[in-house]
């Protein structure tokens, strides 16, 4: 039996919901086993940039930096409509005055940061911090504005913050495509046969999770202790969808367009390798 593969995903409800069947033996893994590592999205991005993990969730912005070593899987993505990052502030102000202001971002390699740079390349004053600290930084005046992701979409109004820009809506209006936030990648050196098994197992895990939504409830709550059940459910409902089981043609076009624009803007290096691992 081969050694376990290292598997990285976040403690966010959409990831724990999808990966629970895979790491708890509820779907056929073709004899593969996994040592999971749960980290916030930017930590996972940086681990992938360093080549630490065999299989991992990453932001699609990070994918642009790791395509030589990792290829994308067709299952497990967070991609859709009406689910993009939001730019928020303590008080509403005109977006034209955003230039010159300090903006909190959830990490250099996040899609949220990439989208903001594509929206306005002149923006340059960014402060990186864990995504769950951004709203507090905006509220206390440590930064002028912040880009929020994950469950913050559902809670920011309760903190008295105002939406300045929906980067997902901007992207959809610009391209007509869904917004690609994050996906699952595998180390290309694992080989086509192993990667195919992983991809099939992950697709089966997503299907199992959607067919048995209560199965992972305790596991999800263990990793989302500060999140209400209502926010957990809304989070899963927004980020786990048909694209999560199979990207399909539209999903692939959305990812390719994001990377094309990132290359054109000089944010990620070009690559001639195929997008997918197999």
Question: How many other β-carbons are positioned within 10 Å of the β-carbon of residue 2?
Answer: 8
* Residues 105, 124: Cα–Cα separation, whole Å: 11
Q: Per residue in 163-186, pLDDT tens?
A: 999 999 999 999 999 999 999 999
Report strand pairing: 162-166 vs 86-89. Answer: antiparallel
What dotted CATH number matches 5-80+179-264? Answer: 3.40.190.10
State the catalytic residue, choosing from 132, 150, 223, 235. 150
Spatial neighbors of 43 by CB under 8 A, at least 6 apart, are none
Examine the pLDDT at 134 and tell me if it is beyond 60: yes
Q: Do the domains spanning 5-80+179-264 and 86-175 agree at the CATH topology level?
A: yes
Mean pLDDT for the stretch of residues 33-40: 96
Only one residue has tokens 């809506």, namely 169
Q: What is the dihedral of CA 132, 134, 135, 140, to 10 degrees?
A: 130
At 137, the pLDDT band (50, 70, 90 cuts) reads very high
Q: Is 112 within any annotated ligand binding site?
A: yes
59 is in an annotated binding site: yes
CATH dotted code for 86-175? 3.40.190.10
Q: Using CA atoms in the order 266, 40, 29, 2, what is the torsion angle rounded to 10 degrees? A: 90
57 is in an annotated binding site: yes
**Exposed/middle/buried for 193, CB within 10 Å: 0-12, 13-18, 19+?**
exposed
pLDDT of residue 1: 55
Q: Per-residue pLDDT tens for 18-30?
A: 999 999 999 999 9
Is 111 labeled as ligand-binding? yes
**Contact between 115 and 157 (Cβ < 8 Å):** no
Q: Is 47:56 a contact under the CB 8 Å cutoff?
A: yes
Domain residue limits, the chain = 5-80+179-264, 86-175
Q: pTM of this prediction?
A: 0.95
pLDDT in tens, 40-89: 999 999 999 999 999 999 999 999 999 999 999 999 999 999 999 999 99
Residue of 168, 148, 164 whose CA lies nearest to 89: 164
Mean pLDDT along residues 225-251: 89
**Does 223 participate in catalysis according to the annotation?**
no
Candidates 7, 32, 24, 17; CA nearest to 194 is 32
For the beta carbon of residue 7, count every other beta carbon within 10 angstroms.
Answer: 24
Beta bridge partners, 34, equal 5
CA atoms within 13 A on the CB side of 13: 28
Looking at residue 3, its pLDDT comes to: 87
- Give me the residue label for tokens 């790491």: 23
């Amino acid at each position: 039996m081969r050694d376990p593969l290292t598997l990285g995903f976040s403690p966010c409800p959409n990831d724990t919901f999808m990966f629970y069947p895979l790491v708890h033996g509820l779907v056929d893994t073709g004899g593969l086993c996994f040592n999971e590592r749960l980290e916030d999205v930017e930590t996972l991005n940086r681990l992938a940039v360093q080549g630490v993990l065999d299989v991992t969730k990453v932001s699609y912005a990070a994918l642009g930096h790791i395509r030589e070593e990792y290829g994308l899987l067709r299952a497990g993505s967070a991609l859709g409509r009406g689910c993009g990052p939001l730019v928020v502030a303590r008080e509403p102000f005109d977006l034209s005055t955003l230039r010159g202001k300090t903006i909190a971002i959830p990490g250099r390699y996040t899609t949220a940061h990439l989208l903001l740079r594509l929206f306005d390349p002149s923006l340059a004053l960014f402060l990186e911090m864990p995504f769950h600290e951004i709203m507090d930084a905006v509220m206390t005046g440590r930064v002028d504005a912040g880009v929020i992701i994950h469950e913050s979409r559902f809670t920011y109004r309760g903190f008295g913050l105002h939406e300045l820009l929906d980067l997902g809506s901007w992207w959809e209006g610009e391209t007509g495509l869904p917004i690609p936030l994050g996906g699952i990648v595998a180390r290309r050196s694992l080989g086509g046969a192993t990667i195919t098994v992983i991809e099939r197992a992950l697709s089966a895990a997503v299907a199992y999770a959607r067919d048995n939504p209560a199965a992972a409830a305790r596991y999800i709550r263990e990793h989302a202790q500060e999140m209400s059940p209502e926010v957990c459910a809304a989070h899963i409902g927004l980020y786990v969808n048909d694209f999560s089981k199979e990207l399909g043609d539209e999903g692939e076009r959305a990812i390719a367009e994001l990377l094309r624009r990132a290359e054109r803007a000089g944010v990620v290096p070009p690559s001639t390798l195929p997008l997918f691992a197999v």
